[in-house]
A and B are shown apart, each in its own frame.
Chain A
Amino acid sequence: MSEVRARTLAEKVWDDHVVVKGEDGTPDLLYIDLHLVHEVTSPQAFDGLRAAGRPVRRPDLTIATEDHNTPTLAINRPIADATSRLQIDTLRANAKEFGVRLHSLGDVEQGIVHVVGPQLGLTMPGVTVVCGDSHTSTHGAFGAMAFGIGTSEVEHVLATQTLPLKPFKTMAITVEGTLRPGVSAKDIILAVIAKIGTGGGQGYVLEYRGSAIRALSMDGRMTVCNMSIEAGARAGMVAPDETTFEYLKGRPHAPEGADWDDAIEYWKTLVTDDTAVFDAEVFLNADELEPFVTWGTNPGQGVSLSENVPDPSLIADPNDRANAERALEYMALTANTPMKEIAVDAVFMGSCTNSRIEDLRAFASIIKGQKKADNVRVMVVPGSARVRIEAEAEGIDKIVEEFGAEWRFAGCSMCLGMNPDQLAPGERCASTSNRNFEGRQGKGGRTHLVSPQVAAATAIRGTLSSPWDLQAELADAGATSKAV
């Protein structure tokens, strides 16, 4: 009997895609099952193909959507910004010339590339997925090996359907316990990033494990995997299980009939072997987690909402201290201020991190029947046209509008402000997106990363708030009325 080496989930998926094994320090040549394309990181790649006279090798493994630049209002009118329009027009011309499937603005399958892939059933366990976008890690929620690539690599995949890559190291992130009501997948990943830092995952693929991860829906797992890159890791994965299979079954591009049976048989092997060894391990207790929020200008600068703005003078590492001081200056925050006293100007509910139907449901369930705080503008942007339709069928659009918030068309929107959805200089925003970098949501804008639940509570109260604060208010109101 031959010895089979114990392997992690990541190693199994990797091994099954090696076309040519690297030797003497050369990388493996890895086959790519699915290539997602959008308008921002692809024009120069198609130019490269044209210059070299190369075709797209596998248009049938390639799909494009328009998301980063697209407006979320008046989508039936020509895009006002000339450079945005040029980029969209360029993608349309390239897709036509090279035979690539494209879902344009107005199409029912249009939306954020990382929402569209899973919803079509194209993202599945045990496949390799790449896209010229660092949040490609999202797709790892299905037990896929999915990672962001640069434009040169986009061209490489278009031309060869492969990438030369060295295997990643593996890191287990084990989250045990039960999340309390009001605490969500977003809080798990923000806590993970705060724990290991923005560079902690560099060179690794993360595997999220443990009872708290198993209990998450696919939408929740996607939120967790989405922000793996914010911990420095190119990819994050969750082993597939019944939750995964249930989500996939019946989706347009999911396997059918005998293919489905073959797929399930294989997918069930995609778990880390009991005796496999990770290069690094991290543990987190879900029982203790509270709603989380960032205070600084990188996603690792976060605390529980019940805490205060950290005091940089207490940070030992000089680089981290200088970084924190700079961040507080940019964010216009004073050390030791309770996070919950911070007032916001805007709330953004959307992005590839939190724009799926469950995110919208969570947000809507909290704002239902309420009015938003005065002086706070609230924008709700579904991740895809399909999500928008589904939400409208459930009446979420009405709840949002009655709350006083804006109900928009699908796209990346204010996550990075490539379209008109931007913060004004100095504006402060509670955002369900993934990056609180300086100027990310608009030049001079200040971002606090939060979950949909915290975004909703914040939109009601006007200050950074958790859903628990709303319950406390209700309880107080109840006590008062009894006293009267």
Chain B
Amino acid sequence: MHAVSVITGVAMPLARSNVDTDQIIPAVFLKRVTKTGFEDALFYSWRQDPDFVLNQPEYTGAKILVAGPDFGTGSSREHAVWALRDYGFDAVLSSRFGDIFRGNSGKQGLLAAQLSEADIEKIWAAIDEAPGREISVDLITKTVSVGDLRLPFAIDDYTRWRLLEGLDDIGLTLRSEAEITEFESRRASWRPKTLPVK
């Protein structure tokens, strides 16, 4: 995973709440067996509407999505993160995220930054004044900068550390190989086993 520190780029507003992962990427695109190439599937239904924000020229090349509350609820599909990432987004800002989506983001180097709803609205207002403006998301100081505004965001320390270091989770876990093996040696015999088939 690539390391993340400061992301600067065009911020795109998505002033809707409860954007579930079915809206981020409909199920029909989940049939692929690859992990890339999902950019055309992002917000597939909504982007059929020429007025949808993704289709506005000032947001071409946007890197930061500024979303309403409860972003990424619903289905566990990591494809939602892949689609955002493939499209070019490096960060999503919201006042609340679906738990699984937030976890998936952390695994793929997509920064999910939690701000207060009031601060999200300040960013929307700032974008409204100057559509296409760039903002900056600093993971080191946990701050979003919009012009002169400095807005704090929350992210759990462990995810922040992993993102800053670009660390691979599986590699980290395998450092505990001895502990896993020891735990397995104590596993009660009544606990489920799928093999042999009964």
Pick the residue among A40, A150, A443 that contacts B45 (CB under 8 A): A443
B176 within 8 A of A: yes
B14 shortest CB reach to chain A, Å:
12
Over the window 434-451 of chain A, the binary record of Cβ atoms lying under 8 Å from chain B Cβ atoms (1 yes, 0 no) is: 010111100100000000
B192/A33 in contact, CB under 8 A: yes
Contact among B23, B74, B99, B174 for A160, CB-based, below 8 A: B174
Select from chain A the residue with minimum beta-carbon distance to B1. A152
**B interface list, Cβ under 8 A from A:** 15-18, 20, 22-23, 26-28, 30-35, 45, 68-70, 73-79, 81, 96-100, 103-104, 107-108, 117, 156-158, 169-170, 172-174, 176, 179-180, 183-184, 187-195, 197-198
Query: Is A433 interfacial (CB-CB < 8 Å)?
Result: no
Q: Which residues of A contact B117 (CB under 8 A)?
A: 319
Give complex CA distance A153, B168 in Å: 11
Known: A134-B74, A298-B18. A164 touches B172 (CB 8 A): yes
Output the residue of B45, B104, B156, B170 with the most chain A CB within 10 A: B170
| Complex contact A259–B189 (CB within 8 A) | yes
* Smallest CB separation, A305 vs chain B (Å): 23
Given A156-B169, A202-B96: A418 in contact with B17 (beta carbons within 8 A): no
Give the docked Cα–Cα distance between A234 and B79 (Å): 18
B28 touches A164 (CB 8 A): no
Partner-B contacts on A (CB < 8 A): 19-20, 22, 25-27, 29, 31, 33-34, 40-41, 43-44, 47, 52, 54, 59-63, 68-69, 81, 83-84, 86-87, 90, 101, 121-124, 127, 132-134, 148-153, 155-156, 159-162, 164, 166, 198-199, 202-203, 229-230, 232-234, 252-253, 255, 259-260, 262-263, 266, 298, 319-320, 322-323, 326, 416-418, 435, 437-440, 443
Residue of A nearest to B45 (CB): A439
Q: Is the CB of B158 within 8 A of A27?
A: yes
Q: Can you pick out 20 interface pairs between chain A and chain B where the beta carbons lie within 8 Å of each other?
A: A25-B158, A33-B192, A41-B78, A62-B194, A81-B31, A83-B32, A84-B31, A124-B191, A124-B192, A150-B78, A151-B35, A151-B78, A164-B173, A199-B18, A255-B189, A418-B27, A435-B22, A437-B22, A438-B22, A439-B45
Task: Please tell me if the beta carbons of A152 and B74 are within 8 angstroms of each other in the complex.
Answer: no
Q: Which residue of B lies closest to A252 (CB)?
A: B198
Contacts of A198 in B (CB 8 A): 18, 70, 73
Q: How far is the CB of B176 from chain A (nearest CB, A)?
A: 5
The reply to whether B31 and A418 form a contact with Cβ atoms under 8 Å apart is: yes
Q: Considering the chains assembled together, what is the distance between the CA atoms of A428 and B131 in angstroms?
A: 38
Known: A262-B188, A418-B30. A150 touches B16 (CB 8 A): no
Q: Which residue in A26, A31, A199, A259 is a CB contact (below 8 Å) of B69?
A: A199
Residue of B nearest to A161 (CB): B180
CA distance A416 to B30 in the complex (A): 11
Q: How far is the CA of A215 from the CA of B184 in the complex (A)?
A: 36
A162 near B194 with CB under 8 A, answer no
In the bound complex, residues from chain A placing their C-beta under 8 Å from that of B17 are 319-320, 322-323
A61 to B193, CA, bound (A): 5
Q: Would you call A90 and B99 a contact (CB within 8 A)?
A: no
Bound complex: CA A156 to CA B108 (Å) = 13
Residues of A near B184 (CB, < 8 A) are: 31, 161
Given contacts A69-B31, A440-B22, contact A263 B192 (CB under 8 A): no
A34/B192 in contact, CB under 8 A: yes
| CB atoms of A83 and B31 under 8 A apart | yes
Q: Is the CB of A199 within 8 A of B96?
A: yes
A63 CB contacts on chain B under 8 angstroms: 194
**Do B32 and A199 touch across chains, with their CB atoms under 8 A apart?**
no
